[in-house]
A and B are shown apart, each in its own frame.
Chain A
Amino acid sequence: MFEIKRSPWVLHYDGSSCNGCDIEVLACLTPVYDAERFGIINTGDPMQADILLITGGINSQNAPVVKQLYDQMPRPKVVCAVGVCACTGGIFKDCYNILGGADTVIPVDIYVPGCAARPQAIIDGIVKAVDLFEKRLEEHKQWVAEHENREKTDKSAAAKQPQKAQQPAGETAKAQSQNSAQRRSKNAKGRKTAKRRKK
């Protein structure tokens, strides 16, 4: 078991499932199974979500909706397909209106099997998603750091100031960490206000 450092927010969307997996996802959040002990919380807002739990297959009408939800989520993000319909199309695979599993329109990281998926399996999927989210966050931080570094060198090259480009590495890292710290606190503020608004 890994250490939980953050509390990722979960967004649940019903693709074209029969409801069985949806009520099991909801049952996971209730006191008996209590998935919230892993720090997650169910949100209705894709803009603040980190993990997308998707149930049911994809059809031509909900494909743009699912795509839009995925695009609205901030990076890094993890997608968890719950139930066999979201994995492959399941029992409805041969139906004329089913294009396939959730991975036909968005990249899926974790597949939870079952028809309907049992709460234990869903909790396992959520825990794996939380773990993956931690890793993704580290990767994302590195990516942001590299990106900012490149931007800086580009800028300084354009201004033709070779002294600044040869800045010691330690200082740059310091500046970056400050930057990211600021960004984090900003994010935290945004979340807090959102939470207050919800309540």
Chain B
Amino acid sequence: MKKRSIVPYGPQHPVLPEPIHLDLVIEDEKIVEAIPSVGFIHRGLENLVQKRDFNQMAYVAERVCGICSFGHGFGYCEAIEDIMDIEVPDRAKYLRTIWFELSRMHSHFLWLGLLADGFGFENLFYQCWRIREKILDVLELTTGGRVIFSVNKVGGVMKDITPEMAGAILDMLASVKKELKAIVPAFTQDYSVKSRLVGVGVLTKQQAHDLGCAGPFARASGIQTDMRKLGYAAYGDLDFDVITSNDGDSYARCVVRINEIFQSISIIEQAIEKMPDGELAAVVKGNPQGESFIRIEQPRGEAIYYVSANGSPHLDRMRVRTPTFANLAGLCETLKGADYADVGLLILTIDPCISCTER
């Protein structure tokens, strides 16, 4: 039998922007098993429902994660609105869709940059983050915040997108589309980049299904899963397809996410065109009573919000199941048999968001 050794990986590691610890059991240079241990960012945020009332919790829910912040605030508000039977005005639904897709775009650009950094292409990393800043500028113009927006509230949204702002968004989308098209060949056709991505960390469709993977990670393995097709917010009125790939390797995950950026651009353009006039928020009276279960599509995959209310301003329980939690099992599967040198890259390909996972 070959000699086995255990290499600790993290929590502080140059490749990882966030702390996660993996115990890698290796045989020569090959990974036999990866054992994750989490809890470095656990804050106990869900417990705050007992100390803050349900309106204040919308701000806390946003801070589950700074990258997918809009989605978390949105999911929480959807759950409360579902309990209280609040009909959100159409304009608010469209505004939420636009901001959601903008945050998906900035998240995917962030991921593309980190991936480029992961395989050592620093120039490409900078290019992605430079383009990402344009999206953040537009988000700041429309919401007032760069990463934490605080525009969602129970019943609707707090801010409006004026025609000038809509024009700025469309201009930004046109320039981002052009610049993204220029850097896509570096990801998809470059010989060195392909050698790091093609065939690395393959996850078959069956494995992805059995392990319950979510989001672009599962879609890259050929699973047709996209919660936006449930038609929440304004997604029911907009035209888009679920982007999948059948290869299941790191290259497929990269291509799926690049195509999703183009898809987001098209969704925002449609939403701005179709956006109706009207109120921004419905009036909220009383306290919620009952429970609700909401599924939405975050940039990283399917997120589930469970809220249980008892008729007082303080909720009984809030629970968030985040996509990275679902994908960690898939990550450990892809790490088996991988080279030690690919570990950092493979961790990045699931687009880990540890803050979401541990809350």
Contacts and interface: CB of A to CB of B under 8 A. Distances in A.
Contacts of B19: 13-14, 62, 65
B66 A97 contact: no
B272 interface: no
Interface residues of A, number: 39
Nearest to B114: A26
B48 A16 contact: no
Interface in B205-222: none
A88 interface: no
Contact of B66 (A22, A30, A69, A118): A22
A184 to B, nearest CB: 26
A61 B45 contact: no
Q: Is the interface of B mostly helix, strand, loop or mixed?
A: loop
Contacts of B310: none
Interface in A94-114: 94-98
Interface residues of B, number: 39
Contacts of B145: 116
Contact of B148 (A26, A45, A61, A115): A115
B69 interface: yes
A45 B43 contact: no
Interface string A145-163: 0000000000000000000
A61 B40 contact: yes
Contacts of A116: 66, 145-148
A97 B43 CA distance: 5
B42 A59 contact: yes
A44 B118 CA distance: 13
Interface string B117-132: 0000000001001101
Contacts of A65: 11-12, 19, 40
Given A13-B12, A16-B41, A98-B43, A22 B130 contact: no
B148 A16 contact: no
Contacts, number: 118
Contacts of A57: 43
Interface in A1-55: 13-24, 26-27, 30-32, 43-46
Contacts of A94: 48, 51
Nearest to B37: A61
B14 interface: yes
B197 interface: no
Interface stretch (B57-65, B87-95, B159-167, B289-297): B57-65
A189 B39 CA distance: 38
A46 B60 CA distance: 32
Nearest to B15: A44
Among A19, A97, A118, which residue has the most Cβ atoms of chain B within 10 A? A19
B13 A96 contact: no
A197 to B, nearest CB: 12
A70 B236 CA distance: 51
A173 to B, nearest CB: 40
B269 interface: no
B157 interface: no
Interface string B56-88: 000110011111010000000000000000000
A27 B43 contact: no
B174 to A, nearest CB: 19
Contact of B40 (A22, A44, A62): A62
Interface in A108-135: 115-116, 118-119
A21 B66 contact: yes
Nearest to B38: A61
B278 interface: no
Interface string B324-359: 000000000000000000000000000001010000
5 contacts: A27-B129, A30-B126, A46-B12, A97-B44, A98-B43
